[in-house]
Amino acid sequence: MPETNDECASILSTIDIADLSAVADATLYTVPVGKLTIPVIAFLKADGDVGAALVCSIGQAGAETDWVGATNGDNLDAANDVIPFMPVPSATPATMKAYTAGTVIEFRVSTGGNAVAGKVFFLGFNYNA
């Protein structure tokens, strides 16, 4: 895990997903002791065409959709295509989350796509609880 500066948005973690066809959860980040973490954005980079079926989400373990719900990856058509994950603002502001110390934040593939690898970049910031 990269070293981060408190109260400054930065990459909190990167993880490799070996097979985006596998329905599974992967730990993105565990909130450090004495901190709160506010996620800002995450990116999924595909190593190839994931196919039209891929659906992913991000949130705390046990509720992997509480930050970003089901997100289709059907536009990841070629190696190095990237999609963002973040609550989408509108006229009514999107609800963000502040996760408490010890919370495990996970990336979930709920519907598998093609058997290609990917990488998730997770950005946010920590501050003292």
The predicted-structure confidence for 59-108, as pLDDT tens digits, reads as follows 999 988 889 989 999 899 999 999 999 887 766 777 889 999 999 999 99
Q: What is the pLDDT of residues 10-59, one digit of tens each?
A: 999 999 999 999 999 999 999 999 999 999 999 999 999 998 899 999 99
pLDDT for 19 equals 95
**Is 47 within the bounds of a domain?**
yes
pLDDT for 65 equals 85
Do residues 58 and 68 make contact, with C-beta atoms less than 8 angstroms apart? yes
**Is 1 within the bounds of a domain?**
no
**Is 102 within the bounds of a domain?**
yes
pLDDT for 95 equals 82
Q: What is the CATH number of the domain that holds 101?
A: 2.60.120
**Is 71 within the bounds of a domain?**
yes
**Is 76 within the bounds of a domain?**
yes
pLDDT for 123 equals 95
- Reported as half-sphere exposure (CB side, CA atoms, 13 A), residue 123 has a value of 12
Q: Does the pLDDT of residue 4 top 90, yes or no? A: no
pLDDT for 5 equals 59
Instruction: Give the total number of structural domains in the chain.
Output: 1
Q: Which of 4-8, 42-46, 125-129 has the highest mean pLDDT?
A: 42-46
**What residue numbers bound the domain in which 61 lies?**
13-128
Distance CA 34, CA 45 (A): 31
b vs e for 24-34, b when ≥16 Cβ sit within 10 Å of the residue's Cβ? ebeebbbbbee
Whole-angstrom Cα Rg for the chain: 14
